[in-house]
Structure formats: structure tokens, C-alpha cells
Structure 1
Amino acid sequence: MGILDFLRAKPKNTASIARERLRIIVAQERSTRGGPDYLPLLRSELLEVIRKYVNIDPEAVQVNLESDTGHDVLELSVALPDDEKKS
């Protein structure tokens, strides 16, 4: 190992990168697996209604359904843009 070997960038471990990506995909699948089928449709319809009044990013709307003993809670989170006309 010479001085030049020390200065060269080490190749990234592709196995660890692939493992991390797989963990993200599995986590997303697990979060949507137990949910009702209507949530994606509900999210898109809510997005259409909100867009009538405010121009927002589609990723700014999050819809979650949490089940507790005896009842379900539907949580809607919308990140509204900053008002550009502030004085």
C-alpha cells in the first residue's frame, strides 16, 4: 500500500447500499399493507380539492389511518407553501 492508494477514493460497498434500499422498500410495503384500499383514492381526491384553493406539491399531502381499540383515526397532514405576498 503506497501513498497514492491512501489518496484514492475507496469504492462504495454496493451490498450495503442495496441492503439499505431494500429496508426502505420493505418499510414502505409494511406501512401500506394493512391499510384500506380506498386510502390512495382518498388522498388523490383530497389533493384535487386542496389544489382548487392552494397550489401545493403532491408530496405535501399525507394520509394515515391508525386503528385503536374500538375506533379508527384518519389523520390528514398538508404542508402549505409560504405566503409569497408577505409585507
Structure 2
Amino acid sequence: MNLFGFTFNRKPRSSAQAKERLQILLAHERGSGPSADFLPLLQRDIVEAIKRYVQVSDDAVGIRMDSIGDVSSLEINIELPSDPKAEAKTEAKADKPEQKAAAKG
């Protein structure tokens, strides 16, 4: 048997090694908490939703995600304009859907 073991040295298969490495990588990523890859997309969607009601620049919205233990928090800071003209435009935009609904009804 030693003769066969010596001549036919069994090395671990590369697929088994790759699988083990992938499992270690996945366990590490899962242990590090939720991924923040979606934050730029989330920020873009939030800015688009806010722009429907208030005129703000893209830089006026800040999004931060924190994770402490099992609890994750999403913090959104929005710098709203204090310009009365911007508020008047916002009110006009908000009234338009109501006027369209009243005209249809």
C-alpha cells in the first residue's frame, strides 16, 4: 500500500481547494455585516424622490449606513432650501396632481 501511496500521491483537487477558499471568503463577508454597495443607487433614488417636492442639489443629500452588533442604521441628511421662491415652486408642484385629479373627477 505504501508503494501505491508513494507513486500515486493524492493531492487535493483544485476544485475542492477553490470551494474551500470560496466558503472562507463568503463567511468573512457575511461576518463583516451588510454590504454598502447599494448606497449610491439608494442615494440617487432618494434624491429623485425629494426633487419631486423640493428643489435640492445632489450634494444636499447625505446617506450613511452604520452597523453595531446585530443592529444596522441608515442615516439620511437632507439640506433643505430656505428660499421662499423654492417653497412656492414646491407648493405649485404639489397642487398640480390634485388639480388633475379634480379635473378628471
Shorter-chain TM-score range: 0.5 to 0.7
CA contact (8 A) 1:35 1:65 kept: no
Shift of residue 69, structure 1, vs aligned partner: 1.1
Shift of residue 61, structure 1, vs aligned partner: 0.2
Alignment correspondent of 1:39: 39
What is the number of residues matched between the two proteins? 53
Alignment correspondent of 1:75: 75
Percent identity between the two aligned chains: 34
**Structure 2 alignment gaps of length 5 or more:** 1-33, 88-105
Could you tell me how far apart the structure 1 residues matched to 2:53 and 2:78 are?
13
Q: What per-residue deviation string (whole Å, max 9, x for no partner) do you get for residues 4-43 of structure 1?
A: xxxxxxxxxxxxxxxxxxxxxxxxxxxxxx9511000000
**Structure 1 alignment gaps of length 5 or more:** 1-33
Could you tell me how far apart the structure 1 residues matched to 2:54 and 2:67 are?
30
Alignment correspondent of 2:102: none
Q: Decide which structure has the larger Cα Rg and report it.
A: 2
Shift of residue 84, structure 1, vs aligned partner: 1.8
Spell out structure 1 runs of 4+ moving beyond 3 A: none
Q: Which has the higher helix share?
A: 2
Counting only pairs closer than 5 Å after superposition, residues 45-64 of structure 1 correspond to structure 2 as 45-64=45-64
Alignment correspondent of 1:66: 66
TM norm structure 2: 0.46
